[in-house]
């Protein structure tokens, strides 16, 4: 006997939104309001005390934003989601919900530069320390864990070398030590991988990237798989003890599977305030509707670009996990059978000047600091996204002065190959 | 709070200390569930003049196990705890398997103590198909997926219900699956089969409902695939004082899919039932 849930493509279009009951609007309305009228005093008190479901103030929740959150939860197979002002805000919200000063994180060293800054410098100023480890070294994950460790963290595809995080193995280490695994799934999206199926407990995205796909809105989203047993761990008193800051609520008593999200919304959004605007949620929902179609095209185009570059005499190496030469090729086949995304790096032969000439000669690829746009993008990590990262850590993360990162878009693949061809030719004259 | 310390019988009290002098609402969850399925009913009632005991049944989540094999043994276990709790006036509210426990408890505790019974998504007999019952034993992981799909309103509607439970941003469908998985992880993979076998084997439904002298409220879900509304009819027919509320567009997980509908029906009934008993 088999049963099935609605398919991914259907959920991407419909989850979280019935047609508007008031107007019949099929599209998700933008509820541009700061607050919501109470039916009466009892309704007001019940909403504030979490006795009833509903909206009070748009920093805490908003009907348009809730559609985005519930659609992302549906696609990720999570118990719920919280939309945030950016991907960085989502990462911050996850961390501050779980821990305070005196706590410790073990993180992959192959991270987006902004995440590295937050963990390595900014949070350290607030008493939260991080040990960075080689994501492929399972022994390093284990040996870095201390008694005050509260989180393991990595990217599904590391930035920029596309290290494939072995989520089943790393999550097993996390769970043996009574802590959850958080993953940044920005590069893969739920179309290419649903990390909760592999053992992750929390997932976040910079929704600015593939989720939106259009590069017009900054946003993030944090999804809880509902898989981690906070009570059994005994290490998360913020979730399992009464919280005087919110009616003495014991979040784990209120909800067996979602205490993390309850606290993150009722404390994190309330006090830190990094919420998403309904306009941004609307933009991101427009993108989300076509996520499966776009991601497939992103992957198809990327495979053609990777094949072209891998055979080109000007190219020293291409880091894409579908290539047998990539150290995580086997893991990619196991965890990412639909594809390894559309962001990857390669190393040009020749001097740093060759790299600069190549980037500046591109006509279809736009030179900017973003990924996951419908349009193809290019950047030089060592001088931009990762310029604050020390040289030895750059080297460990596989970044050299000649590394170029591409984000392959949805253009006609022939135009992309021709653009790369002419730019390589130009670069060869300066090499 | 621990209603009984050894073996532990846990009860969520709605975010307030339990006051046995208040009229009390006892919430009884269904198979492979726990007290948290009542989040949008129990907390509200606790802050509106009632004492609340939302139990984890024996062998479920925080209550010591093992899961009990019959509806009668569950009722006996809880009856002893309620007698010792000091509460004198109570309404029993049960969902699915919990509705059968409520029926048995009503008989055991008598109408002086039990002043109303609320049966949510109930059925008698609560027959479980051979295929599903077999799956709960041989492949509980797959059985949970089946139960989760059948526990919600059809197709995409299950993913777009408003309001979400327990609030904006949550997924009813995946929350229900994760809760069942958590019970299995924490209490053992045999709980699911024990619960469904107990429902399937229960024979005393018509007898128990006929013995009730207090009013009964039936809250049914119009799109219930697990316990279709027609399956409650034998109990409704045998009940001396039945009120039926059918919530439209809602599946078996109606406390999550229609939280306000369930709460409003319960609130109206509780006010009337306690008032009538006091008169």
The pLDDT tens digits of the residues spanning A276-329 come to: 999 999 999 999 999 999 999 999 999 999 999 999 999 999 999 999 999 999
Query: How many whole angstroms separate alpha carbon A409 and alpha carbon A342?
Result: 8
Phi then psi for A274, rounded to 5 degrees? -85, 65
Is the pLDDT confidence value at B121 over 70?
A: yes
CB contacts under 8 A, B 95-134 vs A, are 131-132
- Complex-level ipTM: 0.96
Please report which helix (H) or strand (E) contains residue A399, including its range.
none
Q: Do A248 and B15 touch (CB under 8 A)?
A: yes
Q: How far is B170 from chain A (nearest CA, A)?
A: 4
The pLDDT tens digits of the residues spanning A148-161 come to: 999 999 999 998 78
A140 prior amide bond cis, ω within 30: no
DSSP state for residue A374 in the 8-state scheme: S
Handedness of CA B142, B147, B153, B154 (dihedral sign): positive
A53 reaches B (C-beta below 8 A): yes
Residues in chain A closer than 8 A to B163 (CB atoms): 53-54
Token pair recorded at residue B214: 């207090």
CA B135 to chain centre: 23
Q: Where are the beta strands (DSSP E) in A77-179?
A: 80-84, 104-108, 129-133, 149-155
pLDDT band at B207 (very low <50, low <70, confident <90, very high): very high
Is the pLDDT confidence value at B204 over 70?
A: yes
| Average confidence (pLDDT) over A372-394 | 82
Please report which helix (H) or strand (E) contains residue B138, including its range.
helix B130-138
B66 prior amide bond cis, ω within 30: yes
Q: Find, in chain A, the residue whose alpha carbon is nearest to that of B14.
A: A254
What percentage of chain A reaches a pLDDT higher than 70? 99
Asked whether A60 and A270 are in contact (CB, 8 A), the reply is yes
The pLDDT tens digits of the residues spanning B45-103 come to: 999 999 999 999 999 999 998 999 999 999 999 999 999 888 999 999 999 999 999 99
Is the pLDDT confidence value at B153 over 90?
A: no
What percentage of chain B reaches a pLDDT higher than 70? 100
Q: What is the mean pLDDT of chain B?
A: 95
Q: Find, in chain A, the residue whose alpha carbon is nearest to that of B10.
A: A253
Query: How many whole angstroms separate alpha carbon A10 and alpha carbon B94?
Result: 34
Query: How many whole angstroms separate alpha carbon A335 and alpha carbon A332?
Result: 5
Domains of chain B by range and CATH?
2-127+202-278 (3.40.50.1820)
Is the pLDDT confidence value at A382 over 80?
A: no
Query: How many whole angstroms separate alpha carbon B182 and alpha carbon B11?
Result: 18
Query: How many whole angstroms separate alpha carbon A80 and alpha carbon A263?
Result: 12
Query: Residue A337's closest CA among A180, A193, A214?
Result: A193
Is the pLDDT confidence value at A243 over 80?
A: yes
Query: How many whole angstroms separate alpha carbon B54 and alpha carbon A170?
Result: 37
The pLDDT tens digits of the residues spanning A36-74 come to: 999 999 999 999 999 999 999 999 999 999 999 999 999
Residue with tokens 């003049």: B49
Strands of the sheet containing A343-348, edge to edge, are A315-319, A343-348, A403-407, A377-379, A366-367
B253 Cβ contact list (under 8 Å, min separation 6)? B37, B151, B152, B172, B176
The pLDDT tens digits of the residues spanning B155-202 come to: 677 888 888 899 999 999 999 999 999 999 999 999 999 999 999 999
The CA distances from residue B80 to A28, B48, B87, in Å, are 52, 27, 12
pTM of the model: 0.96
Range of lowest pLDDT (A28-32, A45-49, A394-398): A394-398
Token pair recorded at residue B163: 């309001």
A226 reaches B (C-beta below 8 A): yes
CB contacts under 8 A, B 144-163 vs A, are 145-146, 149-150, 155-157, 159-163
First vs last Cα of chain A: how many Å apart? Answer: 64
Q: How many A-B residue pairs are in contact by the CB < 8 A criterion? A: 146
The pLDDT tens digits of the residues spanning A107-145 come to: 999 998 899 999 999 999 999 999 999 999 999 999 999
Count Cβ atoms within 10 A of the Cβ of residue A117 and give its class: 0-12 exposed, 13-18 middle, 19 or more buried.
middle
Q: Do A52 and B263 touch (CB under 8 A)?
A: yes
Q: Which residues are registered as beta bridge partners of B95? A: B120
Please report which helix (H) or strand (E) contains residue B184, including its range.
helix B172-187
pLDDT band at A401 (very low <50, low <70, confident <90, very high): confident
The pLDDT tens digits of the residues spanning A193-242 come to: 999 999 999 999 999 999 999 999 999 999 999 999 999 999 999 999 99
Q: Where are the beta strands (DSSP E) in A225-356?
A: 315-319, 343-348
Angle (CA) B77-B79-B83 rounded to 5° is 125
Is the pLDDT confidence value at A391 over 80?
A: no
């Amino acid at each position: 006997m088999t049963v099935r849930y609605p398919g991914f493509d259907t959920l991407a279009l419909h989850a979280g939104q019935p047609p508007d009951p008031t107007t019949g609007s099929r599209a998700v309305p933008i509820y541009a309001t700061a607050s919501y009228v109470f039916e009466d005093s009892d309704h007001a008190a019940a909403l504030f005390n979490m006795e009833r479901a509903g909206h009070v103030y748009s920093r805490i929740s908003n009907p348009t934003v809730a559609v985005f959150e519930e659609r992302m939860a549906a696609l990720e197979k999570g118990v719920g989601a919280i939309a945030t002002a950016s991907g960085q805000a989502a990462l911050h919200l996850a961390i501050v919900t779980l821990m305070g000063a005196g706590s410790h994180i073990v993180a992959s060293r192959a991270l987006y530069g902004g995440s590295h800054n937050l963990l390595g410098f900014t949070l350290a100023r607030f008493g939260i320390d991080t040990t960075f480890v080689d994501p492929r070294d399972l022994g390093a994950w284990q040996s870095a864990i201390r008694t005050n460790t509260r989180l393991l963290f990595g990217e599904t595809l590391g930035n920029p070398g596309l290290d494939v995080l072995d989520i089943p193995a790393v999550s097993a280490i996390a769970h043996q030590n009574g802590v959850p695994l958080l993953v940044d799934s920005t590069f893969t999206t739920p179309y290419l991988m649903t990390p909760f199926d592999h053992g992750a407990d929390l997932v976040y995205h910079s929704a600015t990237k593939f989720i939106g796909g259009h590069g017009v809105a900054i946003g993030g989203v944090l999804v809880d798989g509902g898989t981690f047993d906070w009570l059994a761990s005994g290490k998360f008193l913020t979730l399992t003890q009464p919280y005087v800051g919110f009616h003495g609520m014991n979040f784990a008593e209120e909800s067996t599977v979602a205490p993390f999200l309850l606290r993150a919304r009722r404390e994190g959004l309330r006090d830190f305030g990094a919420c998403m605007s309904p306009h941004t949620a609307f933009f991101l929902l427009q993108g989300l509707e076509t996520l499966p179609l776009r991601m497939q095209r992103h992957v198809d185009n990327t495979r053609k670009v990777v094949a072209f570059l891998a055979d080109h005499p000007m190219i020293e190496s291409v880091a894409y996990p579908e290539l047998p030469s990539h150290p995580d090729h086997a893991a990619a086949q196991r965890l990412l059978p639909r594809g390894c995304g559309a962001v990857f790096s390669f190393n040009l032969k020749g001097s740093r000047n060759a790299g600069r000439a190549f980037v500046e000669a591109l006509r279809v690829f736009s030179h900017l600091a973003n990924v996951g746009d419908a349009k193809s993008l290019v950047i030089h990590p060592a001088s931009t996204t990762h310029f604050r990262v020390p040289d030895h850590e750059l080297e460990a993360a596989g970044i050299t002065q000649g590394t170029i990162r591409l984000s392959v878009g949805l253009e006609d693949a022939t135009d992309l190959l021709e653009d790369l061809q002419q730019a390589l030719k130009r670069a060869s004259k300066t090499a | 709070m621990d209603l009984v310390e050894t073996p532990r019988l846990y009860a969520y009290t709605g975010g307030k200390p339990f006051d046995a002098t208040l009229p009390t609402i006892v919430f009884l969850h269904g198979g492979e569930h726990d007290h948290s399925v009542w989040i949008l009913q129990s907390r509200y009632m606790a802050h509106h003049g009632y004492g609340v005991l939302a139990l984890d049944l024996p062998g479920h989540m925080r209550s010591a196990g093992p899961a009990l094999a019959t509806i009668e043994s569950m009722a006996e276990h809880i009856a002893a705890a309620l007698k010792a709790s000091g509460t004198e006036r109570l309404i029993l509210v049960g969902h699915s398997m919990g509705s059968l426990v409520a029926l048995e408890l009503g008989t055991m505790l008598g109408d002086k103590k039990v002043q109303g019974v609320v049966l949510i998504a109930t059925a008698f007999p609560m027959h479980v198909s051979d295929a599903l019952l077999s799956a709960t034993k041989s492949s509980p992981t797959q059985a949970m997926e089946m139960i989760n799909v059948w526990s919600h309103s059809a197709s995409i509607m299950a993913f777009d219900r408003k309001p979400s439970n327990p609030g904006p941003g949550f997924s009813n469908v995946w929350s229900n699956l994760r809760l069942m998985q958590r019970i299995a992880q924490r209490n053992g993979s045999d709980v699911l089969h024990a619960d469904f076998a107990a429902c399937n084997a229960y024979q005393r439904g018509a007898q128990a409902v006929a013995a009730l002298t207090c009013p009964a409220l039936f809250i049914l879900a119009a799109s219930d695939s697990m316990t279709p509304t027609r399956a409650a009819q034998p109990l409704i027919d045998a009940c001396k004082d039945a009120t039926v509320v059918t919530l439209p567009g809602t599946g078996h997980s109606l406390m999550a899919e229609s939280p306000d509908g369930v709460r409003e029906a319960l609130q109206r009934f509780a006010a009337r039932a306690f008032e009538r008993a006091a008169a």
